[in-house]
Amino acid sequence: MSATAEAPPAPSSATAPPETLSWDSKSRRMVTIWVPLACFLLILLFPFYWMSITAFKPNAELYDYNTHNPFWITSPTLDHIRLLLFGTSYPRWLLTTMTVAICSTVLSLIASTLAAYAIQRLRFKGSQYVGLGIYLAYLVPPSILFIPLATVVFQFGLFDSPIALILVYPTFLVPFCTWLLIGYFKSIPFELEECALIDGATRLQILRQITLPLAVPGLISAGIFSFTLSWNEFIYALAFIQSSERKTVPVAILTELVTGDVYQWGALMAGSLLGSLPVAIFYSFFVDYYVSSLTGAVKE
**Crossing angle of the two packed helices 265-285 and 35-55, in degrees rounded to 10:** 130
Query: Which of 58, 68, 70, 214 touches another protein (CB under 8 A)?
Result: 70
What part of residues 71-90 is at the interface with another protein (CB under 8 A)? none
Q: In Å, what is the CA distance from 238 to each residue of 131, 235, 243, 253? A: 31, 5, 11, 11
**Smallest distance, Å, CB 190 to another protein?**
14
Query: Which of 140, 192, 195, 216 touches another protein (CB under 8 A)?
Result: 140
Q: In this complex, which beta carbon is closest to another protein, that of residue 86 or of residue 298?
A: 298
- What mask, x for binding another protein by CB under 8 A, covers residues 227 to 256? -x--xx-xx--xx---------xxx-xx--
Give CB contacts under 8 A, 24+ apart, made by 119-125. Answer: 119/178, 119/182, 120/181, 120/182, 120/185, 120/186, 121/185, 121/193, 121/207, 121/211, 122/203
Q: Which stretch binds another protein (CB under 8 A): 39-47, 79-87, 88-96, 212-220?
A: 39-47
**Smallest distance, Å, CB 77 to another protein?**
17
281 binds another protein (CB under 8 A): no
What part of residues 157-186 is at the interface with another protein (CB under 8 A)? 167-168, 170-171, 174-175, 178
CA distance 67 to 75: 13
Query: Which of 42, 47, 82, 91 touches another protein (CB under 8 A)?
Result: 47
Query: Which of 30, 31, 41, 163 touches another protein (CB under 8 A)?
Result: 41
CA distance 65 to 112: 52
Query: Which of 221, 276, 289, 293 touches another protein (CB under 8 A)?
Result: 276
37 binds another protein (CB under 8 A): yes
Q: Which stretch binds another protein (CB under 8 A): 36-44, 76-84, 86-94, 213-221?
A: 36-44
The residues, ordered by sequence, that sit 6+ positions from 257 with a Cβ below 8 Å of its Cβ are 88, 264, 267, 268, 271
Q: In this complex, which beta carbon is closest to another protein, that of residue 214 or of residue 300?
A: 300
96 binds another protein (CB under 8 A): no
Q: How would you class 49 by CB atoms within 10 Å of its CB: exposed for 0-12, middle for 13-18, buried for 19 or more?
A: exposed
**Smallest distance, Å, CB 62 to another protein?**
8
Cα dihedral: 255, 260, 264, 270 (round 10): 0
95 binds another protein (CB under 8 A): no
Phi and psi at 146, nearest 5°, equal: -70, -30
- Total number of residues that touch another protein (CB under 8 A): 101
Largest CA distance in the chain: 79
**Smallest distance, Å, CB 196 to another protein?**
12
Q: Which of 255, 213, 206, 260 is nearest to 234 (CA)?
A: 255
142 binds another protein (CB under 8 A): yes
DSSP state of 257: S
94 binds another protein (CB under 8 A): no
210 binds another protein (CB under 8 A): no
